[in-house]
Amino acid sequence: MKKLIICLFSMVFLASCVDDLDEYNVDQKQATVVPAVTLFTGATKNLTDVLTTPNVNTNNYRFYVQHWTSTQYLDEPRYNMTSRTIPQSMWTTLYRDVLADFAEAKRIINEDETLTEGVKQNQLAQVEIMEVYTWSVLVNTFGDVPYTEALNSQNALPVYDDAQAIYNDILSRLETAVDQINTSSAGFTGSGDILYGGNMQRWLKFGNSLKLKLGMVVADVDNAKAKALAESATAADAGGVISSNAENAAFGYLSAPPNNNPISSNVKGPLSTREDYVAANTLVDAMNERNDPRREFYFSQVGGQFKGGRYGFPNTFTDFSTVSAKVADPTFEALLLDYAEVEFLLAEAVERGYNVGGTAAEHYNKGVTASITYWGGTEAQATAYLQQPSVSYASAPGDWKQKIGTQEWIALYNRGYDAWVTWRRLDAPTLLPPVDGLTVPTRLIYPVNEQTLNPSNYTSASSAIGGDQSSTRLFWDAQ
């Protein structure tokens, strides 16, 4: 009886400490509060993964820019976006797995009273820079998208905002974020910052470089804004842009899934036996013609040669070059922005008359050299490559858009999304569809879910951009 009384007393005492019995039903192994740093890290990795993966259900940009082609399945290199859930996968990942987590991270940071003001402002700036990057991907991929009413769990039917209005707003947000970085204070540190390990000086350079990059996207439709952003990013007191490969915005993968380089899970190599992709003849032929030293780092060889499969047609895997062992390595890093791209952007800025210092040829040469040395080539190889008439800035064929665009297209190998944006901006090099009646995509169509679940807003957005077609040009994509 005594034991029973003690047990009953204990139950009454414990019950008096809680509001209801549901509070006993707590799974100690499931986190109820996720730290801001965890959300920031996870969202950054999810963004990197979705832009890096070659999985045909999600990311076909390498096909659109004709860096890769397929062996037997022709829907994707012939631009079919409905046989798989390609737009839906990209859309869902960017909204649900990236932007939603960044937004929640900001909420937690703002409510955290333990952070010093300097650390709080830096963490908010880091999140904001990555948010802007993500929004730019959505706009540059689809056009008009939900923005002002997005990420609201109480609104299942958000309106679509005008793409140019979104772009102007995120550019303003980016400028504010860059301006609030204090390199004397910490932000997210160590493993929580998978891009720069807490180095705020490099975050400042990344922010400025992103400002330059996004500014150049609108150069053909808003030259004044592009000029102001480029000159602001490179001003003497701005903190600089990325100026070496050591400062690249890079995420180093690990050898074991799920933190491996996503390419390694989709191509033949240590983690997969798939034989779906070969190098496209469009890129391989262009590099062969120029005796490009990056070929050995980009591709495998067949019979001692680099040989691309015919783009958009069936190809036998063993007959053609495929991705190199370097690219297929589970630990091979992904890039969000690099030194070579920055130098090509600066070359373009000079050609447009912007005050960013240097000459177009100087920046072009630095861009080519940065790409070659990043991949494993030498400066001597870069010098020899640049002396070829087909490569030299003074003698390469075409206008400045053709010269810069072609070399940037080559340098952006393994960064299909960025190569696709650059190709649409500069219309270089010339990419032809595999068969008559097709058009190389200039956007992704909207997801089927938006058509069925948010039909009114979908219809309005489709009309506003000129039709929900893969051939519709976005507001910045001048003819």
What is the DSSP secondary-structure string of 332-375?
--EEEE-HHHHHHHHHHHHHTT---SS-HHHHHHHHHHHHHHHH
pLDDT score for 29: 53
Integer Cα distance of 134 and 43 in angstroms: 10
pLDDT score for 33: 78
Integer Cα distance of 290 and 330 in angstroms: 30
pLDDT score for 478: 77
> b/e map of 112-147 (b: 16 or more CB within 10 Å)?
eeebeebbbbbbbbbbbbbbbbbbbbbbbbbbbbbb
- On whether the CB atoms of residues 279 and 321 are closer than 8 A, the answer is yes
pLDDT score for 30: 54
Give φ, ψ of 402 to 5 degrees: -70, -40
pTM for this prediction? 0.93
Residue 452: half-sphere exposure toward Cβ, Cα within 13 Å: 4
Neighbours of 221 (CB within 10 A): 15
Q: Which of 282, 316, 314, 313 is nearest to 302 (CA)?
A: 316
pLDDT score for 12: 34
Residues 6+ apart with CB under 8 A from 119: 185, 186, 187
Integer Cα distance of 478 and 20 in angstroms: 63
Neighbours of 202 (CB within 10 A): 21
pLDDT (tens, 9 = 90+) of the chain, 479 residues, equals 444 333 433 333 333 344 444 444 545 555 567 999 999 999 999 999 999 999 999 999 999 999 999 999 999 999 999 999 999 999 999 999 999 999 999 999 999 999 999 999 999 999 999 999 999 999 999 999 999 999 999 999 999 999 999 999 999 999 999 999 999 999 999 999 999 999 999 999 999 999 999 999 999 999 999 999 999 999 999 999 999 999 999 999 999 899 999 999 999 999 999 999 999 999 999 999 999 999 999 999 999 999 999 999 999 999 999 999 999 999 999 999 999 999 999 999 999 999 999 999 999 999 999 999 999 999 999 999 999 999 999 999 999 999 999 999 999 999 999 999 999 999 999 999 999 999 999 999 999 999 999 999 999 999 999 999 999 999 999 76
